Amino acid sequence: MYKQYLRQAWQLMKQNRFFSAVYIIGTGLAISMVMVMAVVYHIRTANIAPEVNRDRMCYVTNVSFNMNDDKGHLNSCVGPRFAKEVMYNLKTPEAVAVATMTQMMPFTVGDVFMQAPGHDEAPKVSLMGCNDQFWRVYAFTFEEGKPFTEADFQSGLPRAVLTESLSRKLFRKTEVTGQTVLINDVKYIVSGVVADVSGVASDVCADVWIPYTSMAVIMNKMADEKEGSANILVANILLRDADDIGLLKDELAQEVKRYNTTLTEGQVTCNDPVSYVDQMVGSLLRMDVKQTYMTLSIVLLLFLLVPALNLSGLNTSHMQDRIPEIGVRKAFGAPRGTLMSQIFVENMLLMLPGGVAGLLFSYVLVFLFRNLLLSSGVFAMQMGTGGSIFLSAGMLLNWEVFLYAFVVCLVLNLLSSMVPAWRAVKVNITEALNA
Amino acid sequence: MIKHILKLIWSQFRSNTWVLAELLVVFVVLWFMTDYFLMQGVLMHRPVGYKLDNVYQAVVSLRSSDNPSFIEYEEGSEEPMRNLERIVERIRQHPDVEVVGLSYYSLPYTHSNIGNGVWRDSTRLNIRYMLVSPDYFRVFGIGSILGGSPEELGAKLPGMKNTTDIVISAGIAETLFGRTDVIGSELYSGGDSVPRHIVAVTEPVRNDEYSIGHRHVAFGLFSLPELAGEEEMVEEDLTNVQITFRTRPGIASADYAGKFLREMKRQLMAGNLWVSDIRSYQKVRADYLANSPETGSRKLFSALGAFFLVNVFLAVIGTFWFRVRRRRSELGLRMAVGSSRSGIQGLMIGEGLLLLTLAMLPALLVCLNLVWMDVLSTTVMAAGVGRFLTVSLLTWSVLAFVIFLATWYPSRKASRLEPAEALHYE
């Protein structure tokens, strides 16, 4: 039966080349726009190496230090002392990765230049200070060597992990474990080389990672109550289970309370842990999460509604041409349901090539607009990490994205073909035959 | 003619409903996009005030304290400040350099700035306070609004303390006084109890093409010793002092900044301070604008606008294609009774444009209601009748153009029909 429909639909497609072309372009366009949103959503939220645990991640970013007697407050990120005395004490999380906040680096650390002794090349690099658990939370691909160890971190030893491309730039090779590099003229020893990280993974993206305990700029403030509590770090927390976030919130509040009793100059407040998705969505349009979802749904609705109206118009015109044919079918006893499902299948057949074309086109769009769609924000782009956003096949080609595409096709088809089809099928047999 | 087309549209209302609905939705969406683009255009074409040709910035960096060649100065030592002055002097003595300006959080195309407030009567205005050296005005070619040269303007800069003078930008004068010839008028600044006298009004200046609030600027004299005393500056803070310079005309080349840095690298080191980068200010501007969220949203809106227009194009071309086929007999009859070919084509195109106009009426009602609900941003311009009409007309024109393109081919096909053949279908 369906074979018959398909053959018939194929014949119709060939007869009405113009209609078919317009229809396929129309669906392709609609699907590509929705797919851009889907692909971006996927790349931003799915577990993509090295951020392989996004579904279990949450963040503590904002720490405020309120000085006693209303003498003002310092709003910043996590400080080294706060990290040591609060974040590392938490029992709920599986691991706590603490790293420097990329956006704050230019203001506190300034430009970072690297050089290998005996080589001329001294490029400006993007540096990230982190702890040893960072390497447990995030899955980097080590081409060479190992991450720095807990002991290295605790004693603030000068150890560095480089990306492959930076290593090539500095040494013209990647077998550099144990070699010395100069970071702003300070000697570091390379402990490992990792594959380049796309700017898509904005939490970890950098050219070189060092223990933040080796950075004077941060550790000088360790004893300071104010800047030791609020500084330039972020805590990226890996939970055992995504639902533990409530538990963590309570435990964190307890720990902060205890920490505050050790302070004499003021009191500390910090944000409740925010899950990865909320953090991402919230930073997307710089609005709160609810508003962002609202805006995105309106956009999504328009993306579907306008092409659906468009295709409905085409279908109506097409159906009017076919009313006589439908009349004949009805005269020979075809029930409405059969006719409707035939029209549905026909439209689906027209829509699938549009869907494939649309999906491919959406990849092109995502690639062209990647800096706009995938970078973590304005500051990231300003520091040039926007340029390092590259996309791998794994990010684009996977069954989730294909499933999104198919569902969109289905919805669009239902929206655009069913009303005109119903109106055509409802026409009285005699009138239809006369048309 | 219009009445005739209206009758035609009415008689095929069924097949027109979908196109009409789509035109209505798209009209509303495009109306808001047009408004957005219009406002951006108006904003971008207002003067920024800074002349950036031949201007470069020298970025000063500080060696970190764990660096082996780090020099430990005693607390309160003036040596770090001297080091900065040495670097400035060496830039000034370079034969290509015409003038060097210094400033503190006071450069255009940056995100860092110092805020302050001024009062006139009971009106308070948030302003940007710029600390600049007299030569800053020469570097960026900023004169006074009454035609005074940058040098004269620089000479009028009031010090940070013990002064009753104030130099303001044309933006402040316009907002607070409604005019710019306000020299000698009084203003209160920050927490002052005595009024200040306006001694000079500069040309309009803004941080960048997109900025709205930052056109309200007051200038003060940048003096390193005074600032260091006031702010308890440590060596680290010296890197916030901004050095900009203008080269003599005719020197600029594509990689002049890089050449300058390579040539001067050794000389531009003093104590723990060193110049890590020389940037062409044109490039600073280009980078700032390219990475600003406004540029991003403009690109995004352009893509969305294109998407909706292509959809309209497809809808109209598809509908009219079928229409021409179905109405072959009618068109043949028209030709037989003397319609010219261009008349037929005009009829079809007119039908498309009239459809748009019909959709526009309810769409404008929707827009009007949304404007009523204050959905429109009024930061650039108040939402008045003029703006509403301009945007409506522009939106109509854009859509009319697309519809013209979409109806052109089917209508041409219609007009090329042979009357005999067309009548054949009757």
CB contact under 8 A, A309 and B319: no
The residue of chain A with its CA nearest to that of B309 is: A306
Q: Does A115 touch chain B (CB under 8 A)?
A: no
CB contact under 8 A, B67 and A29: no
pLDDT 10s digits, A108-139: 787 888 989 888 888 888 899 999 999 999 99
pLDDT 10s digits, B411-421: 888 888 777 77
Q: Which residues share a beta bridge with B119?
A: B124, B188
List all residues 6 or more positions away from A393 whose beta carbon is below 8 Å from its beta carbon: none
For residue A398, the tally of other CB atoms under 10 A from its CB is: 13
Q: Which tops the pLDDT comparison, A321 or A233?
A: A233
pLDDT 10s digits, B47-80: 888 999 999 999 998 887 777 788 888 877 888 8
Taking alpha carbons only, the member of A206, A176, A1, A10 closest to residue A109 is A206
Mutate which of A296, A312, A317 to disrupt the B interface (most B C-beta within 10 Å)?
A317
| Residue in B15, B59, B68 nearest the CB of A316 | B15
| Residue recorded with tokens 């005595």 | B194
* Cα–Cα distances in angstroms (integers) from residue B89 to residues A161, B204, B233, B390, in the given order: 40, 30, 21, 54
Rounded to 5 degrees, what are φ and ψ at A229?
A: -85, -40
Peptide bond into B204 cis (omega under 30): no
pLDDT 10s digits, A203-225: 888 899 999 999 988 898 888 88
Strands B97-104 and B123-132: what pairing? antiparallel
Question: Which one-letter amino acid corresponds to residue B148?
Answer: G
| Residue in A184, A185, A381 nearest the CB of B291 | A381
The residue of chain A with its CA nearest to that of B284 is: A382
Residue pair B97/B257 in contact by the 8 Å Cβ criterion: no
List all residues 6 or more positions away from A191 whose beta carbon is below 8 Å from its beta carbon: A145, A146, A147, A148, A152, A159, A160, A161, A177
pLDDT 10s digits, B315-331: 888 888 877 777 777 88
For residue A193, the tally of other CB atoms under 10 A from its CB is: 26
Cβ-based contacts of A386 with chain B (< 8 Å):
291
H or E element at residue B118: strand B114-120
Euclidean distance between CA atoms A397 and A399, whole angstroms: 7
- pLDDT of amino acid A91: 92
Q: DSSP H helical segments within A155-288, as ranges?
A: 164-171, 216-219, 225-229, 245-261, 276-284
CB contact under 8 A, A22 and B29: no
Q: Which residues share a beta bridge with B166?
A: B198
Return the ∠ at Cα A95 (arms to A94 and A98), rounded to 5°. Answer: 155
- pLDDT of amino acid A251: 94
The structure tokens listed for A251 are 């435990």
| Residue recorded with tokens 């990672």 | A209
Q: Name the band, by pLDDT with cuts 50, 70 and 90, for residue A384.
A: very low
Q: Name the band, by pLDDT with cuts 50, 70 and 90, for residue B231.
A: low
| Residue recorded with tokens 């018939």 | A8
Distance between A240 CA and the closest CA of chain B, angstroms? 37
pLDDT of residue A385 exceeding 60, the answer is no
- pLDDT of amino acid B148: 84
pLDDT of residue A383 exceeding 50, the answer is no
Residue pair B140/B219 in contact by the 8 Å Cβ criterion: no
DSSP state, B197?
Answer: E
- pLDDT of amino acid B107: 92
Cβ-based contacts of A372 with chain B (< 8 Å):
296, 299-300
Q: Name the band, by pLDDT with cuts 50, 70 and 90, for residue A323.
A: confident
Residue pair B421/B334 in contact by the 8 Å Cβ criterion: no
pLDDT of residue B337 exceeding 90, the answer is no
Interface of A with B in 366-405 (CB under 8 A): 369, 372, 378, 381-382, 386
Residue ranges per structural domain of chain B: 2-45+292-424, 71-271
Question: Which one-letter amino acid corresponds to residue B96?
Answer: D
Q: Does A312 touch chain B (CB under 8 A)?
A: yes
List all residues 6 or more positions away from A114 whose beta carbon is below 8 Å from its beta carbon: A122, A123, A125, A166, A170, A181, A182, A183, A184, A207, A208
Q: Does A118 touch chain B (CB under 8 A)?
A: no
Distance between B314 CA and the closest CA of chain A, angstroms? 6
Mutate which of A219, A224, A311, A314 to disrupt the B interface (most B C-beta within 10 Å)?
A314
Q: Which tops the pLDDT comparison, A296 or B246?
A: B246
Q: Name the band, by pLDDT with cuts 50, 70 and 90, for residue A155.
A: very high
Cβ-based contacts of A385 with chain B (< 8 Å):
none
CB contact under 8 A, B318 and A110: no
- pLDDT of amino acid A236: 94
Cβ-based contacts of A316 with chain B (< 8 Å):
14-15, 17-18
Residue pair A152/A159 in contact by the 8 Å Cβ criterion: yes
* For chain A, counts of helices (H) and of strands (E): 18, 16
| Residue in A29, A186, A310 nearest the CB of B64 | A186
Q: Name the band, by pLDDT with cuts 50, 70 and 90, for residue A235.
A: very high
- A57 sits in the region (left: phi over 0; alpha: psi -120 to 50; else beta) called beta
Interface of A with B in 187-246 (CB under 8 A): 216-217, 220
